[in-house]
């Protein structure tokens, strides 16, 4: 079974995700698309759609979480700008609801990514995927205390290592 294409798609996608912190969000989108293409190939090779679907669910939840927090922050600023300060509570409550929804969706998304990478690790024998998935999940749990961002960056670095550690070919044991 050939994993070479998935190895490079996922590796380059993971690098783009990491670089996107310095350059911009467009690279993150391209990175996630490449990783999804890699996981789609891996899921087809091992005949397990869950590898791809779980990661896709995780990424979609993360995107929704980011959109919600952007919307909540926008509503808060607009509320404070056009409504007298007596209604500042409305702005603050919409901001808090947005942050809580962001956190919940991020954690659930991190869990799905963890489950996807556990399957990749099981099928390929590359344990770095399992550890990477665990770090993504722990990072999302710790986002509430800001340390999670550092843990997620470490997970992304390990994700690069994991993809480039994939063998070009995998012998079938069946």
pTM here is: 0.88
Nearest to 107 by CA among 150, 62, 151: 62
Split at pLDDT 50, 70, 90, the class of 49 is very high
Q: Inter-axis angle of helices 49-82 and 25-45, to 10 degrees?
A: 160
Q: Is the pLDDT of residue 61 over 80?
A: yes
Q: What is the mean pLDDT of residues 48-61?
A: 96
Please state, rounded to an integer, the average pLDDT across all residues of the chain: 89
Q: What is the pLDDT of residues 108-166, one digit of tens each?
A: 999 999 999 999 999 999 999 999 999 999 999 999 898 999 999 999 999 999 999 99
pLDDT of the residue at 174? 37
Backbone φ/ψ region at 28: left (φ over 0), alpha (ψ -120 to 50), beta: alpha
Give the domain ranges of the chain.
Answer: 4-165
Cα–Cα distances in angstroms (integers) from residue 171 to residues 121, 123, 168, in the given order: 15, 11, 10
Q: Which residues of 43-55 are buried (b: 16+ CB within 10 A; e: fewer)?
A: bebbebeebbbbb
* 64 or 146, which is more confident: 64
Q: What is the pLDDT of residues 109-119, one digit of tens each?
A: 999 999 999 99
Q: Is the pLDDT of residue 85 over 60?
A: no
pLDDT of the residue at 88? 59
pLDDT of the residue at 84? 60
Burial of residue 81 (CB within 10 Å: 0-12, 13-18, 19+) is exposed
* 40 or 1, which is more confident: 40
SS3 content of the chain, % helix, strand, coil (to 5): 90, 0, 10
Distance CA 3, CA 48 (A): 15
Nearest to 53 by CA among 123, 119, 129: 119
């Amino acid at each position: 079974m050939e994993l070479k294409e998935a190895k490079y798609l996922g590796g380059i996608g993971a690098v783009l995700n990491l670089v996107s912190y310095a350059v911009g969000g467009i690279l993150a989108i391209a990175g996630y698309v490449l990783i999804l293409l890699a996981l789609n190939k891996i899921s087809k090779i091992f005949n397990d759609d869950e590898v791809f679907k779980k990661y896709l669910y995780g990424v979609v939840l993360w995107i929704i979480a980011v959109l919600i927090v952007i919307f909540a922050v926008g509503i808060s600023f607009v509320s404070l700008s056009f409504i007298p300060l007596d209604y500042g509570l409305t702005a603050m409550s919409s901001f808090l609801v947005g942050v809580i929804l962001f956190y919940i969706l991020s954690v659930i998304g991190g869990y799905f990514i963890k489950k996807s990478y556990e399957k990749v690790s099981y099928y390929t024998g590359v344990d770095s995927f399992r550890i990477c998935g665990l770090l993504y999940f722990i990072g999302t749990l710790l986002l509430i205390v800001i340390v999670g961002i550092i843990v997620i960056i470490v997970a992304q670095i390990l994700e690069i290592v994991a993809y480039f550690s994939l063998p070009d070919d995998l012998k079938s044991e069946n």
